[in-house]
Amino acid sequence: MSTAIVITSGKGGTGKTSLTGGVASCLAALGRQVLCIDMDIGLRNLDLTLGMSDRALMDFTDVLSGRCTLERAAVSHPVIQGLSLITAPVRLPQEPLSEQAMRELIRQAKQRYDYILMDSPAGLGEGFRLACCGADRVVVVSTTDASALRDAQRTVTILREELPRIHLVVNRVQPKLLRRLHTTIDDAMDAAGLPLLGVVPEDPQVMLCANQGQPLIVRTSRGAAIAYLNIARRLLGQRVPVMKLR
C-alpha cells in the first residue's frame, strides 16, 4: 500500500529538506518508486538537495489548478532510478490553494508511487496545513536545541488532532555538545513527546553535496547517509538498531 508522508518541523534550520531528500533517495535505492513534493512555496530547496536544480518546469500548484497533469509535473532523477520530484513555485499563486485538490493529487500519486514524501515548510502556516491534509503519517524533524524541541512539541499538539502516526527524527546531532549540555536523545524524545524514528549526526558532507548539486548517497556511505538509510528501512517496516553516535 502506498504511503504519503509529510516531513515537517516547528522551526527552520533543522535540516528537514536534507532529510527529505536523503530518505527519499534511500527508499528509491532500495527499489521503491518514490515521489518527492517540495511544498515550501517561495523558499524551495529540495531540488538542490536532490541534485535536480532547474530540471522541473512545472510545480505542484500547476497540478492543483489543472494547468498540467501529475505525470508532466513529476521529473525523474537523472541518476537514482525510481526517484521523482515535483517542485514548489517561486512565489505565492494568486488563487487560493485547495486542500481538496491536494488530496486528489496525493490520490493520483499513490497509484504510481510507493512513497510520497512532502517537504513541508517550517512552522504552522498555510503550506504546513496543505501538506498535512493528504498525509498518512508525519515525521517531525528537530535538533537537540531547546527552542527547536519546544516548537516541535507545539507542532505535535496540532498534528495529533488529525494524524495519529507521528514520529520524531533528531537531526544534526553533535555528541560532544550533548555531553556538555548533560542531555541525551531520550531527553529530546521526552521534550517532543514522540517516539523516535531515527537519529542523524551533524555531517558537513550534507551541505557540501547540496552546494555541488549531488545527492548525498551518491557521494558517500558514511555519516548522515547511513542514518538516512536506516530511517528508510524503518519506514519499510524493517527492524534496524538506532545509530550510535560518538
Q: For residue 200, what pLDDT is reported? A: 92
pLDDT higher than 60, residue 182:
no
What pLDDT score does 72 carry?
94
Least confident piece of the model among 13-22, 79-88, 168-177: 168-177
Q: Is residue 245 part of a domain?
A: no
Dist. CA 219–CA 70, nearest whole Å: 30
Condensed to tens digits (0 to 9), the pLDDT of residues 124-141 reads 677 788 888 889 999 999
Q: Identify the CATH number of the domain in which residue 208 sits.
A: 3.40.50.300
Domain assignment of residue 29, given as a range: 3-235
pLDDT: is 237 or 191 the higher one? Answer: 237
- Residue 244 in any domain: the answer is no
Give the pLDDT score at 184.
67
* pLDDT tens digits along 59-103: 999 999 999 999 999 999 999 999 999 998 878 777 778 899 999
- In percent, the amount of the chain with pLDDT more than 90 equals 43
Q: What is the pTM of this model?
A: 0.91
The three-state (H, E, C) secondary structure of 2-51, written as one string: CEEEEEECCCCCCCHHHHHHHHHHHHHHCCCCEEEEECCCCCCCHHHHHC
Q: Is 31 a domain residue?
A: yes
Instruction: Confirm whether 242 is domain-assigned.
Output: no
Summary mean pLDDT of the chain: 87
On whether residue 243 sits in a domain, the answer given is: no
Q: Is residue 183 pLDDT above 70, yes or no?
A: no
Q: Is the pLDDT at 187 greater than 70, yes or no?
A: no
Q: Is 217 within the bounds of a domain? A: yes
pLDDT band at 227 (very low <50, low <70, confident <90, very high): very high
Does residue 241 belong to any structural domain of this protein? no
The count of domains in the chain is 1
Is residue 201 assigned to a domain?
Answer: yes
Residue 76: per-residue pLDDT: 95
